[in-house]
């Protein structure tokens, strides 16, 4: 008989960690949740993919798994959505994301 895997609760979730990032989009253009976009981007970077199309491709390939913890109300965002949101100068979203990830790495060492 195979033992059940232990499910550990994370100390902090990705959503909690990135909650400080403000969404620069206007309300009428929000088809996808900011945290869904950020979470998918973080997963893709961890997996070593590069480029906006790679992010969308990863999201589509892992859609069922991503749905287990993300809302994804309108499916996987397009590569254009990732590029427009994560490259905006107004929010410096990418810079903020990776400086927060760097803080995690620093705390763990």
Q: Where are the domains of the chain?
A: 32-108
Query: Following DSSP, what letter does each residue of 70-94 receive, concatenated?
Result: ---BTBSPPHHHHHHHHT-TTTTHH
Which one has a higher pLDDT value, 58 or 49?
A: 58
- Banded pLDDT at 15 (limits 50, 70, 90): confident
Q: What is the mean pLDDT of the chain?
A: 81
- 56-104 tens-digit pLDDT: 999 999 999 999 999 999 999 999 999 888 776 554 656 666 666 666 5
Which one has a higher pLDDT value, 68 or 10?
A: 68
For the chain, first and last CA: distance in Å? 38
To the question of pTM greater than 0.85 for the whole model, the response is no
Residues 6+ apart with CB under 8 A from 82: 37, 40, 41, 52, 55, 56
């Amino acid at each position: 008989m195979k033992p059940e895997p232990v499910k550990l609760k994370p100390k902090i979730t990705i959503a909690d960690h990135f909650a400080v990032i403000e969404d620069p989009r206007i309300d009428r253009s929000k088809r996808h949740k900011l945290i869904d976009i950020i979470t998918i981007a973080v997963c893709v970077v961890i997996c070593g993919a590069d480029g906006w199309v790679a992010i969308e491709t990863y999201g589509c390939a892992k859609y069922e798994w991503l749905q287990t913890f993300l809302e994804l109300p309108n499916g996987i965002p397009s590569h254009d959505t990732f590029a427009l949101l994560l490259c905006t100068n107004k929010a410096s979203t990418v810079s903020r994301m990776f400086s927060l990830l760097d803080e995690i790495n620093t705390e763990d060492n």
